[in-house]
Amino acid sequence: MQIIRKVAVKQIVTDQTKNKLREEYEWKIFQLEQESQQLLFEQKKLEQRTSNKKTEIASKFKKKINSRKDHINWYKYKLEQLDILPIGSEIHDGEVDAIVEVEEGMDWDQMNQQTAIVIRDGKVDKIT
Contact yes or no for 47/54 (Cβ under 8 A): yes
Contact yes or no for 46/58 (Cβ under 8 A): no
pLDDT score recorded for residue 51:
73
Q: Which domain holds residue 9?
A: 2-127
Task: State the CB neighbour count (10 A cutoff) for residue 6.
Answer: 12
The predicted model gives 20-40 an average pLDDT of 96
Question: Tens of pLDDT along 2-28?
Answer: 989 999 999 999 999 999 999 999 999
Angle between helix axes 54-84 and 15-49 (nearest 10 degrees) is 170
pLDDT score recorded for residue 41:
94
Q: From CA 39, how far away is CA 24, in angstroms rounded?
A: 22
Question: Tens of pLDDT along 69-114?
Answer: 999 999 999 999 999 999 999 999 899 998 988 888 888 887 778 8
Q: What's the start-to-end Cα distance of the chain, in Å?
A: 23
Q: Is 39 exposed, middle or buried (0-12, 13-18, 19+ CB in 10 A)?
A: middle
Global pTM reads 0.76
Q: From CA 97, how far away is CA 8, in angstroms rounded?
A: 9
Q: From CA 79, how far away is CA 97, in angstroms rounded?
A: 28
The total domain count for the chain is 1
Element holding 63 (H helix, E strand): helix 54-84
